[in-house]
Amino acid sequence: MAEHTRAGSRSLPRLLMSPAVLSLFLWMIVPLVMTIYFSVMRYNLMQPDQAGFVGLENYSYFLTDPDFWPSIWNTLLLLGSVVVITVVFGLAIALLINDPFPGQGLVRILLISPFFVMPTVNALMWKHMMMNPVYGWLAQVWTFFGLQPIDWLTDYPLLSIIIMVSWQWLPFACLIFMTALQSMDREQLEAAGMDGATYFQKLWYLYMPHMARSISVVIMIEVIFLLSVFAEIVTTTNGGPGNASTNLAFLIYKQALLNFDFGVASAGALLAVVLANIVAVFLIRMIGKNLD
């Protein structure tokens, strides 16, 4: 029996991992190779006769696009703002509703609902019914308080996108934090209470260490999705006005589907991968130890 276990402990884990590893490898490598190939070719659907090898021309075209650096900045600003907003408010809300109160179940259900809404619906709803400067609900609230209604998508395009995306992801953070709080050690909390620990001491020394991993999980998953926010932008501001709400994903989309230039778009996609990996390295430095 012991022999069997020892022999099995080496090959079995690999066997169990192979479907996931192999399928993901194919899923990654085939499009990646094709993207690398497209990125060094002239591949413009509007000029199909001018195909051929162009070296790094697509890259220099994409890098010198006046929208490139603003799009990097917008990508990071959008990412950072939404992560901070959702983690801070998500923790606050999860702590607020952790202990029983009348209607706790219903409050929980209302709170997590926005996460189940499609990004397209989310964007259309905010664009028309909330942020429309004439008929929108926010304009009515502003008017009620005697203020000049704001034309959100024109005057604060990136902030508007941040609001929409945060509204979507705050419930996700809440849900993860709420479930993590369920497994807090009650006896430890009571013991700390007996010893006269204040709420903030308990928060810092008991809750935060316990929550460290779920905070890391939330940040990690959000970073992956928020680096390429797309539906909200294409549905509402279309990257504008100007490049005010253009992020990297939208810039690539503009090259591929509006300029029909798949060569430049492919170069942009590979630059996006580089950016993502830089962000990932920073992330692992900061929160990697919590993921063990």
Partner 1 sequence: MQSSPNSKPTTLIIRTIAAWSVALLLFFPLLFLAVTAFKTEGQAIAVPSLWVFTPTLENFVEVQARSNYLHYVWNSVVTSVVSTILGLLIAAPAAYSMAFSPTKRTKDILMWMLSTKMMPAVGALAPIYVMAKTAGLLDTKFSLIVVFTMSNLPIMVWMLYSHFKDIPHEILEASRMDGAGLWDEFRYVLLPLGMGGLASTGLLCLVLAWNEAFWALNLGSANAGTLATLVASYSSPEGLFWAKLSAASLMAIAPIIVFGWFSQKQLVQGLTFGAVK
For partner 1, the binding residues in 151-210 under the rule CB under 8 A are 167, 170-171, 175, 178-179, 182-183, 190, 193-194, 196-199
The residue whose two tokens read 């992560």 is: 83
Choose the stretch contacting partner 1; rule: CB under 8 A; options: 9-17, 46-54, 60-68, 204-212: 9-17
Subset of 241-270 contacting partner 1 (CB under 8 A): 248-249, 252-253, 256-257, 262, 265-266, 268-270
CA angle 216, 283, 67 (to 5 degrees): 125
Distances, alpha carbon 257 to alpha carbons 171, 252, 260, in Å: 32, 8, 5
Question: Does residue 17 belong to the site contacting partner 1 (CB under 8 A)?
Answer: yes
| Cβ atoms of residues 172 and 166 within 8 Å | no
Quote the CA–CA distance of 3 and 177 in Å, as a whole number. 43
Give me the least distance between CB of 195 and partner 1, in Å please: 8
**Shortest distance, position 180 Cβ to partner 1, whole Å:** 8
Interface with partner 1 (CB under 8 A), residue from 3, 6, 19, 64: 19
Token output for 82: 């939404």
Please say which residue, 55 or 196, places its beta carbon nearer to partner 1.
196
3-state SS class at 177: helix
- Considering only the stretches 56-64, 80-88, 98-106, 150-158, report the one whose residues sit in contact with partner 1 under the rule CB under 8 A: 98-106
Question: 49, 64, 101, 285: which one contacts partner 1 (CB under 8 A)?
Answer: 101
Between CA 87 and CA 79 the distance in angstroms is 12
- Number of residues binding to partner 1, judged by CB under 8 A: 102
Residue 273 near partner 1 by CB under 8 A: yes
CB atoms within 10 A of CB 7: 10
Q: Does 84 bind partner 1 (CB under 8 A)?
A: no
Q: Where does 195-261 have alpha helices with state H?
A: 199-202, 208-226, 231-235, 248-253
